[in-house]
Structure 1
Amino acid sequence: MISRRRLLAASVALPLAASVAGCVRHPSAPAVGTTRPLPIPPLTTGQVGADGVRRFELTARTGTTEMLPGKATPTWGYNGSVLGPALRARRGERVAFTITNNLPEATTVHWHGMRVPARCDGGPHQTIEAGGTWSPEWTVDQPAATLWYHPHPHGSTEKHVYRGLSGFFLIDDEHADGLDLPRRYGVDDIPLVIQDRRFAADGRLDETDSSTYGLLGDTIITNGISDAHLSVRTERVRLRILNGSSSRLFNLARSDDRPFDLIATDGGFLEKPLSLSRMQLSPGERAEIVLELRAGQTLTLRSLPIEPRAGLSDPAEFGFDDTFDILTLRAAPQLTPSPALPGALATITPLGAAATTRSFELQWYMINGQRMDMNRIDLTVQAGATEVWEVRNADNWPHNFHIHDVRFQVIGIDGLPPPQALSGWKDTVYTEPGRTYTLAMRFSGHTDPTYPYMYHCHLLHHEDQGMMGQFLVLGPGQQPAPMVMSGNDSGHGH
């Protein structure tokens, strides 16, 4: 296949920095063996008013963060200098947000994985201008899951996320309440966002595009800092893991090569715990795993080289050969006993017959031969419809696929059943070159003839370059209406 660099005249491919290949440590990074305590994002459940609405406040702002020891890195964050608080709400609750943009430029806040009215989705049509405020409101209507929120301004999403804007959104429900799982936030239930970064000598983020593929870093940042460790006081610890990187895939493993248990993916629990020794996450994907430790044990969560890699033009260019230490876990000399994991976690019912099947081809920053056009609706969907989407990576690059407002089931890969790790609910899936992923989904009852949802590659440079489309969810008899850039639209959803 001809390299895209020779076909995209508007793009200039630069070689990867030598420090990325082989994962040479940044000169400002601490010496091997020295770590800092893992920061735990503050947990907020907002304030419940007399009307029963749970209200949250977020402010996007600039700041400085000691990502590297002794270095002050200019960063962006929500309610702080980097990342944002972990938001927590329950299924069935009404939630409302007041979001203020104190950044020097416009941004948005997208609720990744949330079933939410389109006008509240926080995609590129819900722009919050510098100095402006946005107030979305909706009812949480989906099972317990680990979601996240992040910027989604068209053309600049990668830079906004790279500078530090993202946070967890945790949903609880009665079913999850009844499962005997680690659930003490910050003790044995740990949110963990994994990201890669590059730094200049003075500690500033190096935002220089390393290639047309997107930003790849030589330093791993966990919850906002490099070289972190977690002190473990219980026999089992639950990690809610988000790949919050722009472009890098991770292949996670324990340093002792013992298995761990996967209990949930993007959209909620698996049917039962799945024992794994490797787990791959592409940007935007989440997974909940449970690790068992022995008293006094120290182990490292690592990322190993990515497999498989068939059909890729140059795996090393995409960081597939790299190995990183992600997080050191240090078990106390005496550990509090943890109960065994439940044998059953959830019931996942196949969605059944679909009224519509659609095909999507991913190639050259395009989907089905088109780049994103903010003024073009690519397809319309009937509210409540069950559809099957066949997504093929026709490229010689890594891509993945994310759909707003829906959870989907991966029902086939090239016509064969998917691996067990993909047996749960997903909203983002990695697509290997040359393979077709068959996804089944049922759309919500949120209808809007004006405001669209997005589907796109979640490798952020690809998204920014136009690898994205738009769809409307319509009710009976509804027709698409002229689109409106909402700006500081109140965003109330029903």
Structure 2
Amino acid sequence: MRPGVRLALAVILVLVLGGLAYGGYLLVRPPVSTVGHVRFDRPLRIPPLAPSTVDPKGVRTFTLEAGAGVSDFGRGRTPTWGYNGAYLGPTLRVRQGEPVQVDIHNGLKEQTTVHWHGMHLPAKADGGPFAAIRPGGTATAAWTVNQPAATLWYHPHPDGRTEEQVYRGLAGMVIVDGPGSGPDPALPSGYGVDDVPVIVQDKGFTDGGEFTIPNQLGGTLGILGDTLLVNGTIGPYHDVTTQLVRLRLLNASTARSYSFGFSDGRAFDLVGTDGGLLSAPYRTDRVAVSVGERAEIVVAMRPGERVVLRSYPPNPDSGTVVRQFQGGADAFDVLQLRAAATLKPSPPVPAKLTDVPRLDPAGAVPRTFELGGRAINGQKMAMNRVDVVAVKDVTERWTVRNTDFMQHNFHVHGTRFQIASKNGRPPPPPLSGWKDTINLQPGEEMDLLVRFVDYADPTTPYMYHCHLLKHEDSGMMGQVVVVEPGQQAQLAHHHPH
């Protein structure tokens, strides 16, 4: 055998054996766990409330600028992106019934958008991938807030670049208050005191303190980091001064799911999910929150105690792929709550929170969405293709099925929906309210009652997609155009391809 052939065969053998060894290591490596290893030595950063102005017509106007900066997470100087600052963005607080305008400037060196995740608004204001803002450019989103009190968020949604832009830090919370002159007094509502935003993200860091970027870390699911940031804080604690604390949990990671509970197993009240308050509090000791989902919980504290908000393994009984490669067995200590020696009394959580009128499934238009690979119903996203034409104010029944070996989740823009069934059974209480994002494990299926109301635009689509952002960027997304009865969809020619 010639020396060159022997060398080539040797190289191939080394690569094969190395690959097998690495694959074997991945199968037996222990799960990621920070439980008991977090020092909790930094106060939780509370994102500032975004300043706004109100003109004589009552329009509340905010200004956001996306830009690059440098942040100190205790790992050195970390290059980051943020809105109106180096990392993340301010919390926008708006009220049901008021007109809102957001002026957006792109200070980045690449295109971006701002999508209002969970907001009910016209398609032209939604900030999907067709609404790209060029570097140095500006855009305006305007709408009237027409939905109940809820915890929402905003983040970029550019074509093919969403994962990295969110990972670098572009995200922020939106709080919708109910009608009236102040926050709802029935639940804890002192922003940053007993009503606390908790934006959870996982990151990887290089030895030099930089984020490990997606093409270095991303696997089949996307980026799975080994360090948690909460509102941009590593190892955070929050000083509690009241008997009850409301935590607005937002999963702003790009791929990781969480199962939140407390280190001592105490129960708490789940009072709200994506689309707003539940009809009644649900007493539990765990709440699952996948990428893009939100959950509002109220926890009771005793004077002088400390307790840790923890993410328990989200899928400990799942198959090897989900446990070993998709974070199903990973666990994290998230946030320490430190109660003062004396706590201010809090009103009890009401037995009834709100009315949740149920959508009528009779006569609903049926549709099926199968999630597999990087496609929905076997098709990848095409900006010039309309996948669904929905008639305004008509209820539809969307059967969403995960046919894949990995988990997916499913987010719909421009509307809220209700879950009619999960795997053929009535949904559990945490899924009984209004939702805009759901998580589906391999083989799972949910029936959603979807109704697009108020806005019709035959030229501009809303998106539906897997909110695992690597999957979204890879084409696991479709377009729904909402029309008036008798209208035809006709996409505007300016949509990029």
Q: TM-score, normalising length from structure 2? A: 0.91
Aligned residue in 2 for 1:217: 225
For 1:360-371, what aligned pairs fall within 5 Å after superposition?
360-371=369-380
> Aligned partners of 1:58, 1:210: CA distance in 2, in Å?
29
Aligned residue in 2 for 1:61: 67
DSSP-derived class of the 1:225 partner: coil
Query: Which of the two has higher C-alpha Rg?
Result: 2
Higher RCO by CA contacts (8 Å cutoff, separation 6 or greater): 1
Instruction: Tell me how far 1:136 sits from its aligned partner.
Output: 1.4
Instruction: Tell me how far 1:401 sits from its aligned partner.
Output: 0.6
Aligned residue in 1 for 2:117: 112
DSSP-derived class of the 1:463 partner: helix
Instruction: Tell me how far 1:313 sits from its aligned partner.
Output: 3.4
Is the 1:375–1:483 contact (alpha carbons within 8 Å) kept by the matching residues of 2?
Answer: no
Is the 1:76–1:82 contact (alpha carbons within 8 Å) kept by the matching residues of 2?
Answer: yes
Q: Can you list the C-alpha shifts for 1:28-83, whole angstroms capped at 9, x where unaligned?
A: xx97434200000001251100121110100001011112x151110000000000
Aligned residue in 2 for 1:391: 400
DSSP-derived class of the 1:449 partner: coil
Q: Can you list the C-alpha shifts for 1:197-247, whole angstroms capped at 9, x where unaligned?
A: 000011100011341221000001100121111111111110011000011
1:417 aligns with 2:426: yes
* Counterpart selection for 1:250 from 238, 248, 258: 258
Aligned residue in 2 for 1:72: 77
> Aligned partners of 1:112, 1:194: CA distance in 2, in Å?
16
> Aligned partners of 2:155, 2:437: CA distance in 1, in Å?
15
For 1:279-358, what aligned pairs fall within 5 Å after superposition?
279-307=287-315, 309-310=317-318, 313-352=321-360, 353-358=362-367
DSSP-derived class of the 1:391 partner: strand
Is the 1:179–1:342 contact (alpha carbons within 8 Å) kept by the matching residues of 2?
Answer: no
Change (3 A) 1:373 1:328: same
Q: Report how many aligned residue pairs link the two structures.
A: 472
- Code of the residue aligned with 2:311 in structure 1: it is S
* Counterpart selection for 2:97 from 69, 81, 92: 92
1:142 aligns with 2:144: no
Change (3 A) 1:308 1:33: closer
Which blocks of at least 5 consecutive residues in structure 1 are unaligned?
1-11, 488-494
Q: Can you list the C-alpha shifts for 1:141-197, whole angstroms capped at 9, x where unaligned?
A: 111100000000111100000000000111111389555110010110001100100
- Return 301-310 or 367-376, whichever deviates more: 301-310
Is the 1:59–1:79 contact (alpha carbons within 8 Å) kept by the matching residues of 2?
Answer: yes
* Counterpart selection for 1:182 from 184, 188, 208: 188
- Code of the residue aligned with 2:48 in structure 1: it is P
Is the 1:109–1:152 contact (alpha carbons within 8 Å) kept by the matching residues of 2?
Answer: yes
> Aligned partners of 1:99, 1:469: CA distance in 2, in Å?
25
Aligned residue in 2 for 1:8: none
Q: Can you list the C-alpha shifts for 1:247-293, whole angstroms capped at 9, x where unaligned?
A: 10101110010101100000000011111111111000000000111
Change (3 A) 1:259 1:22: same
> Aligned partners of 2:209, 2:158: CA distance in 1, in Å?
26
> Aligned partners of 1:281, 1:451: CA distance in 2, in Å?
30
DSSP-derived class of the 1:134 partner: strand
Is the 2:152–2:175 contact (alpha carbons within 8 Å) kept by the matching residues of 1?
Answer: yes
Q: Percent identity?
A: 48
- CA RMSD in angstroms comes to 2.3
1:377 aligns with 2:386: yes
* Counterpart selection for 2:473 from 452, 464, 471: 464
- Return 302-311 or 214-223, whichever deviates more: 302-311
> Aligned partners of 1:312, 1:378: CA distance in 2, in Å?
34
Aligned residue in 2 for 1:127: 132
> Aligned partners of 1:125, 1:83: CA distance in 2, in Å?
23
1:195 aligns with 2:201: yes
> Aligned partners of 1:416, 1:314: CA distance in 2, in Å?
24
- Code of the residue aligned with 2:143 in structure 1: it is W
Change (3 A) 1:20 1:51: farther
- Code of the residue aligned with 2:492 in structure 1: it is M
Is the 1:362–1:395 contact (alpha carbons within 8 Å) kept by the matching residues of 2?
Answer: yes
1:438 aligns with 2:444: no
For 1:160-171, what aligned pairs fall within 5 Å after superposition?
160-171=165-176
DSSP-derived class of the 1:377 partner: coil
Is the 1:402–1:458 contact (alpha carbons within 8 Å) kept by the matching residues of 2?
Answer: yes
Change (3 A) 1:19 1:260: farther
- Code of the residue aligned with 1:389 in structure 2: it is W
DSSP-derived class of the 1:88 partner: strand
> Aligned partners of 1:310, 1:350: CA distance in 2, in Å?
32
1:447 aligns with 2:456: yes
Aligned residue in 2 for 1:204: 210
1:263 aligns with 2:263: no
Instruction: Tell me how far 1:17 sits from its aligned partner.
Output: 8.5
DSSP-derived class of the 1:43 partner: coil
Instruction: Tell me how far 1:415 sits from its aligned partner.
Output: 1.6
> Aligned partners of 2:309, 2:363: CA distance in 1, in Å?
40
Is the 1:108–1:153 contact (alpha carbons within 8 Å) kept by the matching residues of 2?
Answer: yes
Instruction: Tell me how far 1:20 sits from its aligned partner.
Output: 9.1
1:83 aligns with 2:88: yes
Q: Can you list the C-alpha shifts for 1:117-140, whole angstroms capped at 9, x where unaligned?
A: 111100001000100000111111
Change (3 A) 1:315 1:17: closer
- Code of the residue aligned with 1:388 in structure 2: it is R
> Aligned partners of 2:457, 2:176: CA distance in 1, in Å?
25
Instruction: Tell me how far 1:483 sits from its aligned partner.
Output: 2.8
Instruction: Tell me how far 1:413 sits from its aligned partner.
Output: 1.1
1:154 aligns with 2:159: yes
Is the 2:458–2:488 contact (alpha carbons within 8 Å) kept by the matching residues of 1?
Answer: yes
Q: Can you list the C-alpha shifts for 1:4-40, whole angstroms capped at 9, x where unaligned?
A: xxxxxxxx9x9798999532669xxx97434200000
Is the 1:411–1:439 contact (alpha carbons within 8 Å) kept by the matching residues of 2?
Answer: yes
Change (3 A) 1:55 1:18: farther
DSSP-derived class of the 1:161 partner: helix
Which blocks of at least 5 consecutive residues in structure 2 are unaligned?
1-18
Change (3 A) 1:204 1:434: same
- Code of the residue aligned with 2:150 in structure 1: it is A
> Aligned partners of 1:347, 1:20: CA distance in 2, in Å?
48
> Aligned partners of 1:131, 1:18: CA distance in 2, in Å?
47
Flag the structure with higher helix content.
2
> Aligned partners of 2:29, 2:106: CA distance in 1, in Å?
34
Aligned residue in 2 for 1:402: 411
1:275 aligns with 2:280: no
Q: TM-score, normalising length from structure 1? A: 0.91
Is the 1:360–1:389 contact (alpha carbons within 8 Å) kept by the matching residues of 2?
Answer: yes
